[in-house]
Structure 1
């Protein structure tokens, strides 16, 4: 393992400035993260460095299986691992992939030159790729990097992924056991300064569906390379390979099922939005229909009241028509129509006078055009007739206003009869 570093922790303010700078870049040099998630990426990295100062955010080039290279963010450093009462430091690299934080990051164990990845290990592949349940069950946006490191530290403390190998000395000695005691191997490294960085672990055995390790190929001393011996059981090797293949297939099926479920959820969310919009339209249409129904009911009340008025008028005047028909069939127009009240009689007289004056003015116009009436006499007569016509029209207007008020009062009285 790696002993505690003697270098001071990075300045949090500088880290925030660095993250703000790289995440705000635009154009070809911009990081390939979604704009609506960059704030969350910055927040999670700042929280990670605050809790684990041994990790440092960087930008580096990551190469995919298909040869594509992309510039990504990473958290490089060590995480604590308690083991048998002693805390060791495990070197790791957390790559924030293009789909982060909606999907889990890629985590690699980053052994130094004097370290070897334990084989087999339940959570670390020979290429250094880490696979723990927290990564498989990554849920956006609740999952975060701080909880990821906690789960990594817990998983590694149960089964450390690395052990130290001793450097060869000039006097050859029997090579160390492939699986030395983890306690003794860790003790041999703890307390020493870390060796200079060397080549990292290769991605020759990365599991299908995972990105390859972005480091160069490992160059171990000759005595530390694992070579098959005659003591290996072919059945055990076949069984182990079959189990690894089966795990890869199951993991691939899980990823496919997860993607299919996500597509189905997106479709359901879209259908839910459409249904909500239709619900709003239906509620709006229902309200309009209710308002229209209320308006029609009010119009129906008015029609019923008018029909009642007409029925009353017919009953009142039906006898008069019969009496007029008995008088030798000679009906006097002036006697056939009688006004019901004084106001109606006044309106009739004013309207008749108004129309008569209109006829007189028209006759005067024709007389002036024919030269029968002098022009000055025409003007004097038109002035007198216009004044008289004005008074008749004003009288008719006031009488009509009084009739309207009386009709409104009568309708109000009838409404109570229909409502009850």
Structure 2
């Protein structure tokens, strides 16, 4: 894969506000000129680049045409500039280009060191190939969405400080302490360069049209990187699948928990109703026991009288014990008698035995009188209930004292 030359960049921001505006414009474009990133990650890409510029202003975002090994070209975002590093207590600037490929940020960006014509890539560097491709552990272990450009640049600075990837080309017998004034960036820095060494001619020779040609990796290295990329894609796919499965399991567990909580509330409500019903039944049982005690006492008191009397007429065997009971009996008897008379009148009018006006007059009179008896019975019943409650209260006090 070959990146375009630095001259292809089309953006040179002069302020953070301009940079943010530039990113918003290029990422919001639609149609043929839109960048080939997923819509759901464009805002995240913008945040990554803005955070990168805030941390390392020497890197600036641009759009440029990226050329793959198969000749395919695509317009992509890049961060072009320098990464600072510390070597032998001195700070140097390493020119780099960070390409955000179509799969970013789900996959790692592509990083190139971008030496000037006076620089050369260190031979057999552990993290930079002869073509300038950077491969550090942070890139190979890129994990979406936690990995980002800020941490990438920090790792680049750290690894470059351990083993600088670029050296200046000087005479065959370089001075271990070169004179000041040389720099690893074309930004006018006056920092001293790293002691130069003898290397073969730089692979970054100038080409026609000002473009910088790059030597592609050999076939085995390309196959290895493709296999690693494929494994990373599968790994991310498996992780996403596991994450979705776990989310579905958690959702099911939360739903089951909600059902169990509703059932718990229903059970608590049912237990409370059963306890209330038990309390009511206990009160009724106490009432029945008290009434049984009263009846047994009455039977004991009247058992000897029945034996002395002998055969007794059932209709005359019972005598109402108080005025309210007698009044209730009279009202109930009158109510039922009038109900029977009204029923007989209904049969008579159906059979045509009496005229209709006589039927209406009698029914009106009987209904008025029946209403009076029913109202009287209702008042008598209320008085009886009050008397019974008072009597029960007195008996309860007796039981409590005993």
**Displacement, 1:122?**
1.4
1:158 maps to 162
1:198 maps to 211
Instruction: Provide the secondary structure at the position in 2 that maps to 1:123.
Output: coil
Alignment match of 1:364 (pick from 345, 354, 363) = 345
Question: Contact between 1:23 and 1:31, CA under 8 Å: does it hold in 2?
Answer: no
2:3 maps to none
2:264 maps to 286
Question: Contact between 1:9 and 1:53, CA under 8 Å: does it hold in 2?
Answer: no
Instruction: Provide the secondary structure at the position in 1 that maps to 2:353.
Output: coil
1:19 maps to 23
Structure 2: gaps (5+ residues):
1-5, 189-205
2:281 maps to 303
**Displacement, 1:16?**
1.7
Deviates most, 91-100 or 145-154 = 91-100
Structure 1: gaps (5+ residues):
167-174, 212-247
Alignment match of 2:78 (pick from 59, 70, 74) = 74
Question: Contact between 2:85 and 2:158, CA under 8 Å: does it hold in 1?
Answer: yes
**Displacement, 1:120?**
0.8
Deviates most, 396-405 or 296-305 = 396-405
2:120 maps to 116
- Confirm whether residue 89 of structure 1 aligns to residue 102 of structure 2: no
Question: Contact between 1:113 and 1:199, CA under 8 Å: does it hold in 2?
Answer: no
Alignment match of 1:134 (pick from 124, 128, 138) = 138
- Confirm whether residue 33 of structure 1 aligns to residue 43 of structure 2: no
Deviates most, 278-287 or 185-194 = 185-194
Alignment match of 1:54 (pick from 50, 55, 58) = 58
Question: Contact between 2:78 and 2:97, CA under 8 Å: does it hold in 1?
Answer: yes
Instruction: Provide the secondary structure at the position in 2 that maps to 1:126.
Output: coil
**Displacement, 1:331?**
6.2
In the superposition, relative to structure 1, how do residues 307 and 197 fare at CA in structure 2: closer, same or farther (>3 Å)? farther
2-structure distance, mates of 1:133, 1:45: 21
Question: Contact between 2:95 and 2:184, CA under 8 Å: does it hold in 1?
Answer: no
**Displacement, 1:129?**
2.6
TM-score of the two chains, using structure 1 as the length reference:
0.65
Instruction: Provide the secondary structure at the position in 2 that maps to 1:373.
Output: coil
Instruction: Provide the secondary structure at the position in 1 that maps to 2:95.
Output: strand
1:257-336 to structure 2, matched below 5 A, reads 264=242, 267-317=245-295, 320=299, 332=314, 335=317
CA RMSD of aligned residues (A): 4.8
Instruction: Provide the secondary structure at the position in 2 that maps to 1:203.
Output: coil
2-structure distance, mates of 1:404, 1:61: 101
Please list the CA deviations of residues 40-68 of structure 1 after superposition, one character each: whole Å capped at 9, or x if unmatched.
33222112123333322234565778998
Instruction: Provide the secondary structure at the position in 2 that maps to 1:385.
Output: helix
In the superposition, relative to structure 1, how do residues 190 and 67 fare at CA in structure 2: closer, same or farther (>3 Å)? closer
2:194 maps to none
In the superposition, relative to structure 1, how do residues 301 and 62 fare at CA in structure 2: closer, same or farther (>3 Å)? farther
